[in-house]
Amino acid sequence: MSWFSDNGLLLGLATLDGLSYAAAIFMVAVGLNLIFGVLRVLNIAHGSFYAIGGYSAASLGLMFAARGLPAWAAFAALAIAAAIVGVLLGPPIARLLRRTQHQEPVLQLLVTFGLFMILEDLQKLIWGVQPIVFDRPLKLLGNVDVPFAGDLIPFTRYQLFVLPGIAIVTLVALAWTLRRTLFGRMLVAVTVDREAAISQGIDADRITMVTFTIGTALAALGGALSSATASLVPGVGAQTIVLSFAVVATAGLGQVEGAAITALLIGLGRSTAIYFAPELEVVIPYLIMVGVLLIRPQGLFGVIETRRI
Amino acid sequence: MAFECIGSTLTRREAFAAMGVGALVLSGRLAQAQAARPSELRVGIATYLSGPASVFGVPGKQAAELLIEELNAAGGIAGVKVRPIFVDEGPGVDHFVGEYRRLVQSENVNILFSAISSADCLACAPLADELKRPTLLWDCGTQRIFEEGKYEYAYRTQANATPEILAPLLYLLRVKPDFKTVAVVNQDYAWGRDSWSLFKTGLETLLPGVKVVAELFPKFGATDFSTEVTRLLALRPDVVLSTSWGGDLDTFIRQSADRNLFERSTFVLPLAESSLQRVGKALPAGHIVGARGDHWFLHPSPKDPALLKRFTDSYQARFGAYPIYPCHHMAQAVFAMKAGYEKAIAAKGGAWPNDAELAAAFRGLEFPSLTASVKIREDGQGLENQIVGTTFHSDKYPFPVMTDMVVFEAAKITTPVGQKSVDWLKTLTPEVIKTLPAPVAFKG
């Protein structure tokens, strides 16, 4: 009891930090989860979508600023970049991966890994190797002071409101789409049983293509949002995909709300570790993943599927 | 006819065969002893061309290309043109070891510059002796190489982690002698841990009683430091140390600046010279930065100002940025190679040296750097000065520059031959701070 009275305020700060971190990883992980749902392929190249989204947003935002566009255009740059990356990369890569759909999982992984390597080199070719940042959106919104033990701790409004806000909007929009729209129901049908869905007249290829594009755009949006706070460097995609896999595996493959809750769990776990056991910071997402998978191999929200022969 | 030989008998045929083999071996040795002047001098250069460390590796490669072109335009080394062959350290140490062997055995390089990664240097120093190919360790930081091993073919043309960390610590102790608390935010890998260990040991020796309020080691390549920043804002340490580099350091600086952490604590950033141009004036004035050597394009007292200016101007004109410390480290490797060959050739009266003779020439070699000179000690370790300064915002540059610069003399801050850094740091006394040179202000 006394530990909580001593550290309650610190836990409050850790929660604020954990929320924004969770929001950032949710954006990438949910796209990965959606794609796995329809394609049944663990897409390693998903990390590259995040990186390319970030680089594109930074380039577009800097171009807007150089042309004297109004300040709000910085936010538009983030969304436009994500949409462009989704539309340009999603359909061709979805078409390629569909060809591996019924192949051995090892082959699928190798193909996506090869794609990842190609896209990594493409990033270096276009943006070079020096870190790039585009922090205009963050600077526009400024800071807000949070009271803490007689002190004031400044947080950026971008971190406190924009990142969690966009994650919540994304979650609600996806949940609504999946449950309340025809497209969403068709997507669920393709995810649950592709052959049955096709037999009911659903164009599974089209659903797969659109879903892949949405997943790609979400990863790109995650990268675009992070370009305001973090420097983009070669290798950033690899860092992201590892953490996203941890979220997806912990949540259960194909789970949207599960991805949100797991991202929250990992985000809060990590920030709490930084405050009270910093040595555990790096391993905490994976400790959570291993702990969950030992108890529930299908993930926190996954369902056990009957194996088809 | 038979020949009696140590208790056995050789036939004439066997004797001729043995003589033939002997002649072949002897001729090979003679060829080795009297190495012919090559048509070109092949240099294997290991650097990061991919991954996060390519922020150093690519500028290093660019500097090598620029300097080798200039060297060749001036006639090469003793009339022999130099050809660089670059390999990528990015895929990791196992891949690097294969690349090192390939460079020696297939590409038949005459000399190697290797590497940025400390792990790669630890792997290649024994390989240099095994394959008997002269190798210049051009950028890696770990002090363990020559403290824990002895090598005939591996030499370091720059300093190591100990002076690179001790210099900023001494600078801090002079400009802020009364600080009570310190926190560290380092990358979670060997350099981050080892550099903190060196800093902490030196601090405990020179200013005992300083409280370490947080030891934070975010993962290598982290893109979000907001939780670390919040923690530091709440703790209000007098000093924040970070030996991070590349995108990690850029992000940490930006996120700290966005949330006014620089107003609450004095930052000590031993590698920040390489980030200044990227972070711009997000890094406020009044914080301590180092350069892994005396590498600074506005060095207050370069030994050859024309050399530094010519290189800075050429590099900036070609690559659009001021050269950062890996460019200087690469320059030192190129200059050391030239000086080493010239010394070995002179020792042979103008004949081309073999590998062993070239390797031996590096021991005790003194060669110019872009700002001063470097001497390779008898243990193979380079003695390189260190520059540390305080950030200052000048109208002349769109990024912070250094003011109150102190150039630390290499011999005074480098672990003596035969000693281990951690043990030596424990023998320091506060008197060392009083003997530091006077700081030099930025001159616009």
Residue A304 pLDDT exceeds 70: no
- The token pair that represents B118 in the structure block: 């400390």
Residue B344 CA: distances (Å) to CA of B35, B337, B349: 12, 11, 9
A156 contact residues in B (CB cutoff 8 A): 258-259
pLDDT value of position B18? 53
Cα dist from B76 to A17, B39, B337, whole Å: 57, 11, 11
In a domain, A277, yes or no: no
Instruction: List own/partner pairs for B311-315 with CB under 8 A and 24 or more apart.
Output: B311/B66, B311/B67, B311/B370, B314/B66, B314/B70, B315/B62, B315/B63, B315/B66
Task: Express each pLDDT in A226-276 by its tens digit.
Answer: 999 888 888 888 888 988 989 988 988 767 888 999 999 999 999 999 999
Domain B40-159+304-380, CATH homologous superfamily name and number? Response regulator (3.40.50.2300)
Mean residue pLDDT across chain A: 90
Q: Is residue A147 scored above 50 in pLDDT?
A: yes
Domain with A110, as residue range(s), is 26-237
Give a yes or no: residue A131 inside a domain: yes
Of the ranges A91-100, A299-308, B115-124, B411-420, which one carries the lowest mean pLDDT score? A299-308
Q: What is the pLDDT of residue A298?
A: 84
Minimal Cα–Cα distance from B50 to chain A, Å? Answer: 7
A278–B215 C-beta distance less than 8 A: yes
Task: Measure CB to CB from residue A226 to each of B221, B223, B236 and give the nearest one.
Answer: B223
B223: exposed, middle or buried (C-beta count within 10 Å: 0-12, 13-18, 19+)?
buried
Between A98-102, A134-138, A240-244, the lowest mean confidence (pLDDT) is in A98-102
Closest A-chain CA to B216: A278
Instruction: Return the pLDDT at B19.
Output: 54
Average pLDDT across chain B, whole number: 92
Question: pLDDT at position A105, please?
Answer: 83
Side-chain half-sphere of A162: how many Cα atoms within 13 Å? 23
- Percent of chain B residues past pLDDT 70, beyond the cut: 92
Give the CB-side neighbour count of residue A97, counting CA atoms within 13 A. 33
* Section B204-227 average pLDDT: 92
Task: Give B-chain residues touching A24 at CB under 8 angstroms.
Answer: 224
What distances in angstroms separate CA B410 from CA A117, B37, B317, B324, B376, one per listed residue?
A: 42, 36, 31, 20, 11
pLDDT of residue B8: 45
In a domain, A271, yes or no: no
Tokens of B146: 């020559």
- Joined tokens for residue B345: 């050739």
Strand, helix or coil at B114? coil
In a domain, A301, yes or no: no
Supply the pLDDT for residue A255.
76
Q: What's the confidence (pLDDT) of residue B27?
A: 45
Which residue is closest to A239 within chain B, CA to CA? B221
- Please check whether residue A55 lies inside any domain of the structure: yes
Report the percentage of chain A scoring pLDDT > 90: 61
User: Does residue A150 lie in a domain region?
Assistant: yes
Identical fold between B40-159+304-380 and B162-291+385-434: yes
pLDDT, one tens digit per residue, over B168-178 is 999 999 999 99
CATH level 2 (architecture), domain B162-291+385-434: 3-Layer(aba) Sandwich (3.40)
Cα–Cα–Cα angle for A227, A228, A233, nearest 5°? 30
Q: How far is CA A252 from CA A242, A259, A305, B40, B142, in A?
A: 15, 8, 12, 60, 43
Name the least confident of B46-60, B106-120, B141-155: B46-60
pLDDT of residue A193: 87
Q: Which residues pair with A146 in a beta bridge?
A: A153
Size of interface A-B (CB pairs under 8 A): 127
B92 vs A contacts (CB less than 8 Å): none
Q: In this predicted structure, what is the pLDDT of residue B355?
A: 97
What do you get for the CA distance between the two ends of chain A, in Å? 54
Q: What is the mean pLDDT of residues B331-360?
A: 97
> Which residues in chain A have Cβ-Cβ distances shorter than 8 Å to B264?
none
pLDDT at A150 over 50: yes
> Which of A7, A116, A130 best tests the B interface by mutation, with the highest count of B CBs <10 A?
A130
Contacts of A118 in chain B (CB under 8 A): none
Tell me the per-residue pLDDT of A45-66, one tens digit each, with 9 for 90 and over. Answer: 999 999 999 999 999 999 999 9
Contact of B327 with B297, CB cutoff 8 Å:
no
Residue A309: the pLDDT is 54
- Which comes out higher in pLDDT, residue B309 or A191? B309
pLDDT class of B145 with cuts at 50, 70, 90: very high
Q: How far apart are CA B363 and CA B366, in angstroms?
A: 9
Among the ranges given (A9-23, A294-308, B20-34), the one the predictor scored with the smallest mean pLDDT: B20-34
Q: How far does B214 lie from chain A, in Å, by closest CA?
A: 8
How many Cβ atoms are within 10 Å of A201's Cβ, its own excluded? 7
The ipTM is: 0.84
Per-residue pLDDT at A128? 87
Q: What average pLDDT score do residues A69-88 get?
A: 95
Per-residue pLDDT tens over the stretch B85-127: 999 998 889 999 999 999 999 999 999 999 999 999 999 999 9
Mean pLDDT across A148-163: 93
Instruction: Kindly report, residue by residue over A208-229, the tens digit of the pLDDT.
Output: 999 999 999 999 999 999 999 8
- Asked whether the beta carbons of residue A282 and residue B188 sit closer than 8 angstroms, the reply is yes
Q: Which of A129, A149, A278 sits opposite B54 (nearest CB)?
A: A129
Look at B49 and A85; give whichever has higher pLDDT: A85
B45 burial type by CB count under 10 A (0-12 exposed, 13-18 middle, 19+ buried): buried
| Contact across the interface for B259 and A155, Cβ inside 8 Å | yes
Residue B5 has pLDDT above 70, yes or no: no
Cis peptide upstream of residue B115 (ω within 30 degrees of 0): yes
pLDDT in tens, B406-436: 999 999 999 999 999 999 999 999 999 999 9
Query: How many domains does chain A fold into?
Result: 1
Put simply, the answer to whether A281 touches B217 (Cβ < 8 Å) is yes
Domain ranges of chain B: 2-33, 40-159+304-380, 162-291+385-434
pLDDT of residue A103: 83
Hey, which residues 312-351 in chain B have their CB within 8 Å of chain A?
321
A156 and chain B in contact, CB less than 8 A? yes
Report the residue of chain A nearest B52, measured CA to CA.
A234
- Chain segment B377-398, per-residue pLDDT in tens: 999 999 999 999 999 999 999 9
User: In the prediction, which pLDDT does B17 show?
Assistant: 55
Decide if pLDDT at B31 tops 60: no
Mean pLDDT of A271-291: 90
Higher pLDDT, B42 or B188: B42
Q: Could you tell me the two tokens for A51?
A: 């990186």
- Is the pLDDT score of B10 beyond 60? no
pLDDT, average across residues B240-257: 93
Residue A43 has pLDDT above 80, yes or no: yes
| A297: pLDDT strictly greater than 90 | no
- Whether the predicted model's global pTM rises above the 0.90 cut: no
